[in-house]
Amino acid sequence: MRFKILAALLAAVLLSACSEEPDTATFTFTAIPDQDESQLQKRFGVVALYLEDQLGVPVKYVPVKSYAAAVTSFRNDEVQMAWFGGLSGVQARRLVPGSQAIAQGQEDTAFKSYFIANTATGLEATDTLTEAFITPSSFTFGSKGSTSGRLMPEFYLRETFNKAPEELFEKVGFSGDHSRTIALVQTGAYATGAVNYQVWERELEEGKIDPTKVKVIWETPTYPDYHWTIRGDLDAKFGEGFSQRVTEALLAIEDPELLNAFPREKFIPASNAGYAPIEATAQNIGLLDAP
């Protein structure tokens, strides 16, 4: 009788083990929240579906509330990959040794920022920043960790006027994202601001910008910006060669729906060395270790 009971228990354990699904790790990624959440969900939701199909593992996009949160999630291994801006990518890779920039949009090798102004200021488009730009006395950046909304605009303000923004304007703000920057300048809450040129062009095309209330008055020289970065321990977690498969999947994107969501013509290879100018600029103005 004892033997029959033990045999039955053993059979039950074996049956239970056979019925369980194998434990498959989920590949998670995030992105800096550079515009409104609905746009981000649209963009990265389709990316997650595409990568899941290409990689053969569950893939999940994990939204975050700030640039700093994106860097922190990457550092803490809550995500294994992120769509970073130039500055946030540099910050993240410094915190996670071995991590690599792997892909960028073709346009991201030569990105730029627009300086915008409420039309009530009377400021007009110019090829060179002059003292007239700082006369209205209020200016808003985007996120504190944004390359196109903070780092490079601050760099050019300092280079042109040889002063920190707080010394140039009576009121300096940080909107949190590019869409919000446009809205704040359009309503007159801030006289001027700095914004990602692609977000401006998209929102102008979508009719979200009233050109009678806000306009572009200057554009920066170009610089490297957005890119995908992966953690250096990706292969240890998902198997040998997984990081290469992720890279190849991103570079192989041809679906217009995926590309238009960014928008990018295509993705091309990226490297850590390509962001050395961003790292040097951040170091010079004290932003490198402050996501």
Instruction: Grade residue 263 by pLDDT with cuts at 50, 70 and 90.
Output: confident
Domain-ending residue, one of 219, 240, 272 = 219
Contact 74, 92 (CB under 8 A): yes
- Domain co-membership, 120 together with 212: yes
Tell me: the pLDDT tens digits for 195-237? 999 999 999 999 999 999 999 999 999 999 999 999 999 999 9
pTM here?
Answer: 0.79
CATH number at residue 44: 3.40.190.10
Instruction: Grade residue 141 by pLDDT with cuts at 50, 70 and 90.
Output: very high
- Domain co-membership, 186 together with 238: no
In a domain, 121, yes or no: yes
- Domain co-membership, 121 together with 95: no
Tell me: the pLDDT tens digits for 152-162? 999 999 999 99
Nearest one of 62, 59, 27 to 41, comparing CA atoms: 62
- Domain co-membership, 100 together with 234: yes
In a domain, 147, yes or no: yes
Percent of the chain exceeding pLDDT 90 equals 80
- Domain co-membership, 98 together with 116: no
pLDDT surpassing 60 at residue 76:
yes
Distant-in-sequence, close-in-space partners of 272: CB < 8 Å, separation ≥ 6: 93, 100, 101
For residues 238 and 261, give the distance between their C-alpha atoms in angstroms, rounded to a whole number: 28
- Domain co-membership, 116 together with 215: yes
Give residue 207's region: left, alpha or beta (phi > 0; psi -120 to 50). Answer: left
Q: Pick the residue with more confidence: 112 or 4?
A: 112
- Domain co-membership, 208 together with 229: no
In a domain, 6, yes or no: no
In a domain, 291, yes or no: no
Q: What is the mean pLDDT of the chain?
A: 89
- Domain co-membership, 69 together with 98: yes
* Residue numbers of the domain that contains 152: 112-219
Q: How many domains does the chain have?
A: 2
